Chain A
Amino acid sequence: MPNRSQIQARAAMMRVRFEAAGAQVVDPPLLQSAETLLDLYGEDIRARAYVTSDALRGEQMLRPDFTLPVVQMHMRDGAEPARYTYSGEVFRRQEHDPDRANEYIQVGYEVFDRDDPAGADAEVFSLFALQLRGLPLRAATGDIGILTAAVQGLRTSDQRKAALMRHLWRPRRFRALLDRFAGRKPEPDHRAALLGAADPMACDAPMIGKRRPAEIAARIAALRADRDTPPISDTEMAGLDALLGVRETMPYALEHLRDIAVDLPQITPALDRLEARIAALQARGVDVSKLDFEASYGRTSMEYYDGFVFGFYAERRPDLPPIATGGRYDALTRRLGNGAEIPAVGGVLRPDLMLEIEEAVR
């Protein structure tokens, strides 16, 4: 196993390479405001991050990743365009698998650039591929933006689209919602009874709690509106199913998705962006004919990514977490930017795992 100083030496070397590519070194604090992280990730973050507290600042978390503090810093006082690199520990609470590290070093690279998103995507991916050159890794890529575009362009109510968007990162719940909206699953009995009642608000129990009667009435109205919304069409459902199943090398995936766009024309602008990205990757010398593309990739683990996503995996070590991951997170800059926003893409590498794989190869 690689020791700590070897890992730090490798991290420093990789950071220097990112500096040479034009990045400025940043060093965010280890302690992050728990409030911001909780607001962004919800309660799930408590299962993944170590929480501590003091009387003055309240709850703090040991940084579970760098992206959030780097985005905050950039949105506060960054110039445009900007490239950042960093290396340092992140901390992940482990409750199930004692073999997974709860503290490890990440090296990252983030690009904030308005002018050429395809170029920035290709820049990040190709720099990562370069850092990882020679290791027996498989690269996977995807694009959350295609699924997002497909959902937002469905011919159904805004309410349904919002519900689907909210659960885009929870595939099981997303599927259940989709089946219900397509009329493939019947309305539950209790709901039919509620909407059929003469006075649905009637209740023997007193009104208690902060959720007020008006909110309950509003939900009942929303349920009624939803009941009267026609189902999502079979054509659109078939298109979505086909889209979610796309898993080919990049050029074939694009071709296949263009066919699907006949039924789901709303994804065409996203496909144009994919096409531009493929060209930009090629221009940087990436062999796209061997690069895998999965339309569902990144949906379970990469919550804040909303466009291009990628990961590098050790083929012969399925037990290891990904060696590198990254993607585009335009929406995150909007949420943390107090009205400002900027397209952003970046990712992180794990020098400890790289050294471990190199040792095994030797």
Chain B
Amino acid sequence: MTLKLGVPSKGRLMEKTFAWFARHGIELSRAGSDREYAGKVDGIEDVSLILLSAGEIPRELAAGRIHLGVTGTDLVHEKLPRWEQQVEEIAPLGFGQADLVIAVPACWVDVETLDDLDAAAAAFRATHGHRLRIATKYHRLVREFLTDSGVADYTLVDSQGATEGTVMNETAEAIADITSTGETLRANHLKILSDGLILQSQATLWRSRVAEYGAAEKAALAEVLRRLG
């Protein structure tokens, strides 16, 4: 049996992950063509590469179908309740940095903090007859954050992409999304609340606490950890 390593199957995240492992003497590559989702591992024994969508890696770790996986802190925290019990953080990879933040229209001059958002939500509900809508795909993280902060009279609406556009389209009044430079937010005339940082995320290597580790997997894991220092 081999130690299964799950890595995002697409784009910059995959390339940067490959480069990060290469620096530690573990050569990861796609087998065959660019379109094939099979992986190849060189420079270390008994490790196999599984290419997966970054969003599925938390679930695969929690199910124990992979031993190691690379994905963002945001996705692990959102998708795995009590994530500490299911996965262990091995190493932050130093890229894919992004903040999960709450942002509102920049023209809301009266709203700078969660306090303001709460007051605006109360008035909004009274005026429009429905709760202030916050578009996001991070339902659990956002709800827990707003509950802890004592914000009421809002509702979450699901947005799996182009979330920054929902305010302009009037399908939401505010958003909670991942941002790295804030450029897309600014381009869409949104601003981040001063205390609206929910989570700082980056690409991270995780170990599943529930996967089975036989002798070969244990040895391979020890070797991976040794290489990572």
Chain B residues contacting A173 (CB-CB under 8 Å) are: 118, 150
Whether the Cβ atoms of A209 and B150 lie closer than 8 Å is no
Given A42-B131, A42-B152, A194-B110: A209 in contact with B167 (beta carbons within 8 A) = yes
A172, B114: Cα distance in complex, Å? 14
Choose, from A73-81, A102-110, A218-226, A254-262, the stretch at the interface: A218-226
Q: At the interface, yes or no: A216 with Cβ under 8 Å from chain B?
A: yes
Q: At the interface, yes or no: A43 with Cβ under 8 Å from chain B?
A: yes
Given A46-B143, A209-B173: A96 in contact with B107 (beta carbons within 8 A) = no
Whether the Cβ atoms of B105 and A211 lie closer than 8 Å is yes
Query: What per-residue 1/0 map shows which CB atoms of A261-281 lie under 8 Å from chain B?
Result: 000000000000000000000
Whether the Cβ atoms of B105 and A170 lie closer than 8 Å is no
Chain A residues contacting B152 (CB-CB under 8 Å) are: 42, 166-167, 170
A165 CB, nearest partner CB in chain B, Å: 11
Q: Which of B120-141 contact A (CB under 8 A)?
A: 120, 122-124, 127-128, 131-132, 139-140
Interface size class of A (residues with CB under 8 A): 35 or more
Chain A residues contacting B124 (CB-CB under 8 Å) are: 211, 215
Whether the Cβ atoms of B150 and A172 lie closer than 8 Å is yes
Given A95-B81, A190-B194, A211-B120: A203 in contact with B170 (beta carbons within 8 A) = no
Whether the Cβ atoms of A194 and B155 lie closer than 8 Å is no
Given A207-B107, A211-B108, A218-B123: A43 in contact with B156 (beta carbons within 8 A) = yes
Q: Which of A92-134 contact B (CB under 8 A)?
A: 95-96
Q: Which of A181-230 contact B (CB under 8 A)?
A: 188, 190-191, 194, 200-211, 213, 215-216, 218-220, 222-223
Kindly name the residue among A44, A210, A215 whose own CB sees the greatest number of chain B CB atoms within 10 A.
A210
A222, B120: Cα distance in complex, Å? 11
Whether the Cβ atoms of A166 and B140 lie closer than 8 Å is no
Find the A residue at minimum CB distance from B109: A203
Chain B residues contacting A47 (CB-CB under 8 Å) are: 140, 143-144, 147
* A binding-site residues for B, Cβ under 8 Å: 38, 42-44, 46-47, 95-96, 163, 166-167, 170, 172-173, 176, 188, 190-191, 194, 200-211, 213, 215-216, 218-220, 222-223
Which 6 A-B pairs rank lowest in CB-CB distance, beginning with the nearest?
A: A173-B150, A205-B106, A190-B112, A95-B81, A205-B189, A170-B150
* B binding-site residues for A, Cβ under 8 Å: 81-82, 105-110, 112-113, 115, 118-120, 122-124, 127-128, 131-132, 139-140, 143-144, 146-147, 150, 152-156, 167-168, 170, 173, 189, 191, 194
